[in-house]
Structure 1
Amino acid sequence: MNLLLQGKNPLEILDLLQTLSSAEYWTIIEYLAAENRIGEALQAFAHWRQMKDYKPPEKYFAKFMRILGAAKRPDISQLLFNEMISMGLQPSLLSYTALIDCYAEAGCLDYAEELVRKMRKDCIIFNAAALNSLMLAYSKLGKLDHMNRLFNNMKRWGCSPDYRTFRWVIVAYAKAGLFRRMELLWREMDNNGWKLDSIMISAIIQSYAANGLVKDMHDSYLRIKEYRLLVNKPTIRAMASAYIRISKFYQVRLLVKDLDLMRKDTGTLLWNLLLLAFAANFQVKNVQRTMLGMEKVGQTCDLTTYNICALCYARMKMFWELHAVLVRMRRAGITPDLVTFGAVVDCYISGRERFQKMFKELDELGLKECCPEVGTDPLVFEAFGKGDFQTSSETLMQANPQPYGRRWTYGLLLSFYLKKRGATRNSQNSAGNQGSRFVAKMFVPY
């Protein structure tokens, strides 16, 4: 290992040293595999096999086939498997499992299935570990019929599915929305005395949430609490999204408080959800208290935090509070995005138009020549929807990605938006109302 760390060529090391232990050979092979130097790893393994009077046991071939499986090289694994047989080594469950894993990881499922048939023909006794990689491949690729057939065959062949088998099948059924099948397997696991782990529970909750089955989602969440498992961020987001879609913002607040705001592994997600639950109901005092609470515990605010406040204040036409949020963003060094820009435009331009104040606020954002970006959490749009300026801008950018051969900027989007508003107003009122069209002409360079 010291020679490897000194930068010596692994193949030169093999030539220099006459005798190496098995552990030293594996150190060199695993080093080369980790560096994705599979060709040299093969040469090292061949060097080892060609040593005088040395015949590697089957377990070494199986181990190297697993290395090739991680590198997605089933073709070389098959050659090694054939070479092992030519050396007089009879393949057992160990090497068959390694080769099946290799084909399954590479997505060559037909070859893996052929090996399973060959194992049955050779009367090799299966175990669940030999088929779990194939089951996992079916699960990832959504081949539910193949997976279901293999699961039932395992029982017929006297090869009882183990915990990992149940995990992959339940996760696949959950992702596909096959709740009846999933619940039957869940019940079967309970009968075996097995508890669901965080991977299975998370998949189940996320699937219920995506399909709007809020009660089932909540019941599954209670099972997580019963098992004392930690809820991960994707699951939290899925649950919050399900509640937001049916406007149950109080449930979002209860969820956040139940999960503990002081968790360090979720960043600002829980605080932002609490803030969003208040802001979506325009509970301004609670929004302000939540912001103060974040400052009190030292929780850093991000772009989403400020945009939640900005959207709340903009919808309520609270001009001073919106201005204060923009000032705090600048002091925190956070760059506004299209959502922030749109909140300012929608706030000042709707109803009684205040163009001078609007342009002053927009100038202070310093985004005139910047390319539009959206960095706000999509959950915010589920609660608030998208403002008129943001919707119009995204439609425009999608329809014409490069206007006049140029890139879009915030200033250009605003110019188009104001012209559109002027045209709309004049089409509704032909009495010579200049309105936004006049203002757009004045500020086209913006």
Structure 2
Amino acid sequence: MEALPLITPLCLIGSHKTQRFRVSLHQNYSPNRALARKLFWHWKQERSVDGKDNYVDYTPLIQALSRKRLPHVAQELLFEMKSEGFLPNNSTLSALMLCYADNGLFPKAQALWDEIINSSFGPNIQIVSKLIDAYGKMGHFGEVTRILHQVSSRDFNFMHEVYSLAISCFGKGGQLEMMENALKEMVSRGFPVDSATGNAFIRYYSIFGSLTEMEAAYDRLKKSRILIEEEGIRAMSFAYIKEKKYYRLGQFLRDVGLGRKNVGNLLWNLLLLSYAANFKMKSLQREFLEMVEAGFAPDLTTFNIRALAFSRMSLFWDLHLSLEHMQHVKVVADLVTYGCVVDAYLDRRLGKNLDFALKKMNMDDSPLVSTDHFVFEVLGKGDFHSSSEAFLESKRNGKWTYRKLIATYLKKKYRSNQIFWNY
């Protein structure tokens, strides 16, 4: 083992003292044991504890060692305290178990877990949650199943929460069969499927399952009379977008219900995007009018979906009307909006008319992107948008404005054209 650096043991337990000392290593002790003895000595000094067979709590010290990735020191500290007659209480054992799990010492964590769950104290839901999370991050899903069954066999009053945690853990890891089994077991024991668990179920199928499996999970959610929430809607929509199944996306959105107000404009924006993806301009315009008539106020994302479609199709009149509509309803343009105008004019070699197009826009605003990112998943980013992001990452030119960005971009385009014609 490498020689230990200069260590301040008191810092590890949060002491306000700043004195530092070098660890003396006796030839019969390992560096971990030496540091554990030093920590134990300071722990006793600060708390003035004495006596035998005392159940003590040194959870903060164990947690500090875990954060510093010193699980073996924590183990030596436990041995040291036990040898002096200080017995760790349940909170300390739980902290040590999590220390082992978070640092990859899973056999030791399992041994402590067995000790805790068979003790008179038993674990609490916070400890179980952290342990399941640690195992899930490292892909030890078999141990999560083992924990679930052990907790289930002892009939703790937080069993419902443990099932939900296990379902979420399996789902995050893409273990759909394990997730299904945990859900079936939970239902068979009489626990209801709440909204959070049901929507998590949908999200994980949308990420790791096929579209058919995802749709089947959605049908089950509907039959249980649980409403799909925003995260579930987004997850399913992204699954359709990823496979370019825009017709099925539209069917799904209509099934959810375009009149739902609790998700804002999300459903309508996604529906408009499903038409913009294939540049079905008449359908796009028709649904936009339907949206307004249904009482939904278009937001920046709504306008930019249309502006991107108009820009790509070189529909200048429609683009200008959309910009005027934005100004009328006081929706502030962002970098995407400016990019639609710049790209449309330059693609048609109408750069000389750009000032006319931009004169009603606030060119001295600071650039920002407020458009929902799912738009870029379908329509991508325009050339001006992509180039501007590269400019904005540069700190050399001070504070950027739209005016400055456009001027810089035009210079770049001019130079590239000159190089092209010179060849």
Same fold (TM over 0.5): yes
2:198 paired residue among 193, 196, 201: 201
Partner of 1:347: 344
Partner of 1:189: 186
Partner of 1:363: 359
Distance in 2 of aligned mates of 1:308 and 1:107: 50
Contact 1:103 1:109 in 2 (8 A): no
Superposed displacement of residue 238, structure 1: 1.1
Closer, same or farther: CA 149–340 of 1 in aligned 2, 3 Å: same
Distance in 2 of aligned mates of 1:290 and 1:124: 63
Q: Which amino acid aligns with 2:365?
A: C
Superposed displacement of residue 379, structure 1: 0.7
- 2:152 corresponds to 1:155: no
Contact 2:97 2:113 in 1 (8 A): no
Superposed displacement of residue 216, structure 1: 1.7
Distance in 1 of aligned mates of 2:150 and 2:231: 37
- 2:246 corresponds to 1:249: yes
Greater Cα shift, 182-191 or 103-112: 103-112
1:229 paired residue among 226, 229, 249: 226
2:170 paired residue among 154, 160, 173: 173
1:423 paired residue among 400, 415, 418: 415
**Which SS does the other structure have where 2:359 is aligned?**
helix
Closer, same or farther: CA 355–188 of 1 in aligned 2, 3 Å: same
Distance in 2 of aligned mates of 1:286 and 1:277: 10
- 2:127 corresponds to 1:134: yes
**Which SS does the other structure have where 2:375 is aligned?**
helix
Residues 20-44 of structure 1, C-alpha deviations (whole Å, 9 max, x = no match): xxxxxxxxxxxxxxxxxxxxxxxxx
Distance in 2 of aligned mates of 1:166 and 1:185: 7
- 2:263 corresponds to 1:266: yes
Q: Which amino acid aligns with 2:396?
A: P
Aligned length: 335
- 2:369 corresponds to 1:374: yes
Closer, same or farther: CA 253–156 of 1 in aligned 2, 3 Å: closer
- 2:378 corresponds to 1:383: yes
Closer, same or farther: CA 101–341 of 1 in aligned 2, 3 Å: farther
Contact 1:135 1:150 in 2 (8 A): no
**Superposed, which structure 2 residues align to 1:33-182 within 5 Å?**
119=116, 123-124=119-120, 126=122, 130-141=123-134, 142-143=136-137, 148-149=142-143, 151-153=145-147, 155=149, 158-160=153-155, 162-182=159-179
Residues 58-81 of structure 1, C-alpha deviations (whole Å, 9 max, x = no match): xxxxxxx9xxx9xxxx99xxxxxx
Distance in 2 of aligned mates of 1:408 and 1:256: 39
Q: TM-score, normalised by structure 2?
A: 0.69
Closer, same or farther: CA 144–282 of 1 in aligned 2, 3 Å: same
Distance in 1 of aligned mates of 2:383 and 2:354: 15
- 2:386 corresponds to 1:394: no
Q: What RMSD, in angstroms, separates the aligned Cα atoms of the two structures? A: 3.5
Closer, same or farther: CA 334–423 of 1 in aligned 2, 3 Å: same
Superposed displacement of residue 328, structure 1: 0.4
**Which SS does the other structure have where 1:376 is aligned?**
coil
Closer, same or farther: CA 150–216 of 1 in aligned 2, 3 Å: closer
Q: Which amino acid aligns with 1:281?
A: N
Distance in 1 of aligned mates of 2:269 and 2:97: 41
Contact 2:336 2:385 in 1 (8 A): yes
Superposed displacement of residue 205, structure 1: 2.1
Contact 2:249 2:274 in 1 (8 A): yes
Superposed displacement of residue 373, structure 1: 0.4
- 2:293 corresponds to 1:296: yes
Closer, same or farther: CA 324–306 of 1 in aligned 2, 3 Å: same
Superposed displacement of residue 140, structure 1: 4.4
- Any unmatched runs of 5+ in structure 1? 1-64, 76-94, 432-446
Closer, same or farther: CA 134–146 of 1 in aligned 2, 3 Å: farther
1:214 paired residue among 208, 211, 215: 211
Q: Which amino acid aligns with 1:409?
A: T
Q: Which amino acid aligns with 1:355?
A: G
Partner of 2:402: 410
Distance in 2 of aligned mates of 1:136 and 1:167: 10
Distance in 1 of aligned mates of 2:400 and 2:208: 37
Distance in 1 of aligned mates of 2:325 and 2:98: 50
Distance in 2 of aligned mates of 1:268 and 1:300: 8
Q: Which amino acid aligns with 1:420?
A: K
Contact 2:367 2:402 in 1 (8 A): yes
Partner of 1:78: none
**Which SS does the other structure have where 1:429 is aligned?**
helix
Partner of 1:280: 277
Contact 2:340 2:382 in 1 (8 A): yes
Superposed displacement of residue 179, structure 1: 2.0
1:312 paired residue among 306, 309, 312: 309
Partner of 2:322: 325
Q: Percent identity?
A: 32
Distance in 2 of aligned mates of 1:396 and 1:139: 44
Q: TM-score, normalised by structure 1?
A: 0.66
Distance in 2 of aligned mates of 1:303 and 1:150: 44
